[in-house]
Structure 1
Amino acid sequence: MNRFSYVRATSLDEALSALAVPGAAILAGGTNLVDLMKYDVAKPARLVDISRLPLGGITALDDGGLRLGALTPNADTAYDARIQARAPLLASAILAGASAQLRNVATTGGNLLQRTRCAYFYDPCMPCNKREPGSGCPAIGGVNRMHAILGTSEACIAVHPSDMCVALAALDARINVESPGGARVIPIAEFHRLPGDQPQTDSTLGADEIITSVDLPADRFGPHHSYLKLRDRLSYAFALVSVAAGLRLEDGVIVEARIALGGVAHKPWRDREAEALLVGSAPDREAFDHAARAILAPAVGRGGNDYKIELARRAVVRALSQAAAGAPQSQSDKKVR
């Protein structure tokens, strides 16, 4: 681990000022950053601890939505009665992720800023374009069973690991950030990046910006949602494929559909054209399979992860079927129904 300075901020202005040092990094729950530092993957020159700032809690918005403070622990979000009533898809996704101990510490803002997962990225002895741009991507042609099938580039095929962010993508969340220049709002669809030729940059958050909160629109899906996570074991494992599905039904017809995938791309993956295919259709397997095939049409396997294409298609169909039936995937027994 490299030597670094440490600042415990007592105000947002102090945190923003401390962040101005080149190589500074924000420390909140530390569940991802500290691991990266231990592996010598992340080498911040300064840690700016914002854990004492008043950026926690959940508040109601005038439009019926909810605001999650950036420092709200994931467990608090998942078990909040308002979240469970108005955004049950988010609660379910959080409970599908990590362990109870980690959910007690991990924060809303930190979850958004998780680095993409790849064994080569986490091994400083290996070349990796995310750590050292231009050094190569050994996952292409290497061990890539866990890697991306959508939105990849020849520079990187790593996947975004968050469950929470997949649900936020399906819900069209908005991310509020502050910088010395003022505040701005980043739609969740524009927050995470595809790798392109700059895989070292995971998000559009500026180096001088701090996430302060996340806004959720008013509830639209009620009981017609499901978060389905397929993994190697039923607890404490990253998704091979996950699906956040939400439907709005009127008179037995789909009038709105949301489908976001995790475990398949460098960011939570949505295909709005595929969602539009469901509007006006009956909520049946034929319509769901049609949408699933549209989502996976551009998918490309790299050998070890070829299986994900078919697995993702089936997962989309299953999640949409669960949502249509009002029988969301249980995150307590985790068995796929």
Structure 2
Amino acid sequence: MRPFDYVRPAHADEAVAAVAADPGARFLAGGTNLVDHLKLGLTEPTALVDVRDAVDARVQTLSDGGVKIGAGVPNSELAAHPEIRRRYPMLSAALLAGASGQLRNMATTGGNLLQRTRCVYFQDVTTPCNKREPGAGCSALDGHGRDNAVLGASESCVATHPSDMAVALCALEARVRVLGPDSERVLPLEGFHRLPGATPERDTVLSHGELITAVELPPPPTGARTAYRKVRERASYAFALVSVAALVQVRDSQFTDARIAFGGLAHVPWRAHRAEEILRGRPVTEESFQVAADAELAEARTGRDNAYKVPLAVNTLASVLRELTEESR
């Protein structure tokens, strides 16, 4: 038995104060990831601070036409919310592509963003892992590498980020509202998660005691078309080998805007800025799709088992762009 304290404060500032005061304390929401880690021995908190009563669980329309999603909104409710389905269908599709119905009923918006990698070596406490124990080494570099990252990885870590929701939020240019011991801040979703570098144990830019309270989405661009495509080894209960979230605007058979994010390729939801820049102003053609996809994957670094991800990502992005622009060609 590994004893720990448990508290369930009623307000976010109380939850933040409780965690900030104890270096071993952790926030608990739906528990779909953290409870697994407790069982596997990946974490041994001194206290769990349950935030289900402390954070908002509503979806609200903002004055600028955007949407504010409380950190406590369950994934299933967010996917089914009429406003999200109507105005942000890509987000709804990404949520429904993740996990199972039972897990989506428990998982929360804030918790989804903070879930940790499903790298088999991270989850196996008998193997070296820099993310779990800094300086121990990365077993995935020379081990089973089928799921390893091909973009933004380092010699310290080649794990990938598991969230579907975060990939869609990245393409939608979401912001994350965070409450800390001293202040509140709003962070762009892109950059909220960290590339591994030499410190892969840090998944995000959050400091200890900072709590996600909401996610904010800007108004969707007028006339934009969006899609989320997830490629996996089986139809359900599987994480992405490659996923693509894309938003495009087209006028007179020419791209006027594109926002693209990949999942399954990196330690973070990967914003495809190179592909976006190439597409803007180009005609809607197969050549444009291919050139943009190839450019984004040009700096991919593969290992023994994961080279397949590069053509898979290129072909998936081209297919999504083809689907979104079919009526414009």
Q: Same fold (TM over 0.5)?
A: yes
Match in the other structure for 1:87: 88
CA–CA separation in structure 2 for the residues paired with 1:100 and 1:325: 32
Residue 306 of structure 2 is matched in structure 1 by 305
C-alpha distance in 2, partners of 1:138/1:313? Answer: 28
After superposition, residues 103-142 of structure 1 pair within 5 angstroms as 103-142=104-143
Contact conserved, 2:55 with 2:213, CA < 8 A, in 1?
Answer: no
Does the aligned pair in 1 maintain the 2:224–2:249 contact within 8 Å? no
User: Superposed, which structure 2 residues align to 1:42-57 within 5 Å?
Assistant: 42-57=43-58
Structure 2: distance between partners of 1:221 and 1:284: 22
User: What residue identity is the alignment partner of 2:158?
Assistant: I
The answer to whether the 8 A contact 1:116-1:202 is kept is no
Partner SS, residue 98 of structure 1: coil
> What residue in structure 1 maps to residue 28 of structure 2?
27
SS, match of residue 190 in structure 2: helix
Q: Partner of 1:189: helix, strand, or coil?
A: coil
1:280 aligns with 2:285: no
- Residue in 2 aligned with 1:152? 153
Tell me if the contact between 2:29 and 2:72 (Cα under 8 Å) persists in the aligned partners.
yes
Shift of 1:223: 6.1
Q: 1:105 to 1:316 in 2, by over 3 A?
A: same
Assess if the C-alpha contact under 8 Å between 1:223 and 1:323 holds in 2. no
Segment of structure 1 superposing worse, 104-113 or 4-13: 4-13
Which range moves more in the overlay, 136-145 or 222-231? 222-231
Q: Secondary structure at the match of 2:141?
A: coil
Gaps of 5+ in 1: 328-337
Q: Could you tell me whether the CA contact under 8 Å between 1:223 and 1:326 is conserved in 2? A: no
| Conserved? CA contact 1:9–1:49, under 8 Å | yes
C-alpha RMSD of the superposition = 1.4
Q: Which moved more, 1:184-193 or 1:221-230?
A: 221-230
TM-score by length of 2: 0.97
The within-5 A match list for 1:106-255 is: 106-220=107-221, 224-255=225-256
Distance 1:159 1:57, change over 3 A: same
User: Does 289-298 or 46-55 show the bigger shift?
Assistant: 46-55
Q: 1:315 & 1:326 partners in 2: Cα distance?
A: 19
* Conservation of the 8 A alpha-carbon contact between 1:9 and 1:50: yes
Structure 1 residue matching 2:94: 3-state secondary structure: helix
Task: Tell me what 2:17 maps to.
Answer: 17
Q: CA deviation at 1:2?
A: 2.8
Deviation at 1:266, TM superposition (A): 0.2
Q: How many residues align?
A: 327
* Structure-1 residue corresponding to 2:70: 69
Q: Aligned with 2:317: secondary structure?
A: helix
Q: What is the letter of the counterpart of residue 4 of structure 2?
A: F
Secondary structure, aligned partner of 1:212: strand
Cα deviation, residue 53, structure 1? 2.2
Q: Does the 8 Å contact 1:86/1:222 carry over to 2? A: no
Deviation for aligned residue 1:274:
2.0
User: What SS class does the counterpart of residue 299 from structure 1 fall into?
Assistant: coil
Compared with structure 1, are the counterparts of its residues 221 and 148 closer, same or farther at alpha carbon in structure 2 (3 Å cutoff)? farther
